Amino acid sequence: RIAYVNGRYLPHSDAAIHIEDRGFQFADGVYEVCEVRDGLIIDLTRHLDRLDRSLRELRMASPMAREPLKLVIREVLRRNRVRNGLFYLQVTRGVARRDHYFPAAGTSPTLTITAKSVDPQPARARYETGIKVITVPENRWDRVDIKTVGLLPNVLVKQQAKDAGAQDAIFVDAAGKVTEAASSNVWIVSADGVLVTRPAEHGILRGVTRTTVLEVAASLSVPVEEREFTVEEMLAAREVFLTSATGSCVPVVAVDGRTIANGHPGSVAAALRGAFLHIAE
């Protein structure tokens, strides 16, 4: 495997950054994950738009203009022979002697990109059987709209889910409303057949897959409401599913040990997934 590190393509085992990188010391960095399917990068433009937004919100310099960045991404995929899989791109505020204040102007951001192939077979199994989730109290900061590498709460709840025999965790805010899962957005099909997902204004990351699935739903004339919903409503839903770049419409068949509907993946998630538009750049 080959990784891109600040202008160089290195063997994965040698790819390293300095111990005083601010990503390492402060989680002072942002990232994107994109799916690659049949050699096409899914929703690349939207991911790069969101990367730009994350950088802006944190007043972080952009490491590279968009066109050269796309060339580097494609080169990493090519060198790793990825036709189906993903790439991971991370930008940090760079290397500087540890100090909470931003480093001096002119400090170069750190750009790293890795890519890997994903075996489609186990990935497909998730869609056939669905996954189990637990709910956990929302305990993250107020800026989860920024895709930062500060993912400790997400890591802890995902492990908590695994320890409980589930696969994922769904955060629930103080008002009892679902925010999102540890690394994906949450959707329900309500008892009256309406597709519901939380508005992206507050409390969640505006998932790229979420945006595309909203478009897919419109194209299929599936009724949609962007509104908050409670755990009780989720438990009573016809369907629950998750979306992210690493899984479009992953069905959830149990929440906190309680079966959703008949315990089998639902038809709306399957239809949306089937029609999921491959917007490749």
List the catalytic residues. 147
**Looking at beta carbons only, is 146 or 231 nearer to ligand PDD?**
146
Q: Which amino acid is at 254?
A: A
Residues with Cβ within 8 Å of 234's Cβ and at least 6 positions away in sequence, in order, are: 170, 178, 186, 188, 240, 255, 260
148 binds ligand PDD (CB under 6 A): no
80 binds ligand PDD (CB under 6 A): no
The minimum distance between CB 85 and ligand PDD, in angstroms, equals 13
Indicate which single residue of 63, 94, 150, 207 sits in contact with ligand PDD (rule: CB under 6 A).
207
245 binds ligand PDD (CB under 6 A): yes
243 binds ligand PDD (CB under 6 A): yes
Between residue 162 and residue 201, which ones bind ligand PDD under the rule CB under 6 A? Answer: 180, 183-185
Rounded CA Rg of the chain: 19
**Looking at beta carbons only, is 114 or 243 nearer to ligand PDD?**
243
Angle at the Cα of 176 (from 226 to 263), degrees rounded to 5? 75
**Looking at beta carbons only, is 5 or 149 nearer to ligand PDD?**
149
45 binds ligand PDD (CB under 6 A): no
Indicate which single residue of 27, 33, 123, 146 sits in contact with ligand PDD (rule: CB under 6 A).
33
**Paired strand residues for 133:** 168, 255
The minimum distance between CB 50 and ligand PDD, in angstroms, equals 7
# residues near ligand PDD by CB under 6 A = 14
CB of 266 closer than 8 Å to CB of 238: yes
Q: How many CB atoms lie within 10 A of CB 71?
A: 11
Question: Token pair of 111, please?
Answer: 């750009």
Question: Token pair of 183, please?
Answer: 């690394």
Cα 141 to Cα 138: distance, rounded to the nearest angstrom: 9
**Paired strand residues for 25:** none
Indicate which single residue of 205, 214, 254, 272 sits in contact with ligand PDD (rule: CB under 6 A).
205
Closest CA to 145 of 213, 104, 201: 201
112 binds ligand PDD (CB under 6 A): no
CA atoms within 13 A on the CB side of 207: 28
The minimum distance between CB 265 and ligand PDD, in angstroms, equals 19
Question: Token pair of 178, please?
Answer: 């679902």
114 binds ligand PDD (CB under 6 A): no
**Looking at beta carbons only, is 132 or 147 nearer to ligand PDD?**
147
Binding residues for ligand PDD, per CB under 6 A? Answer: 33, 180, 183-185, 205, 207-210, 243-246
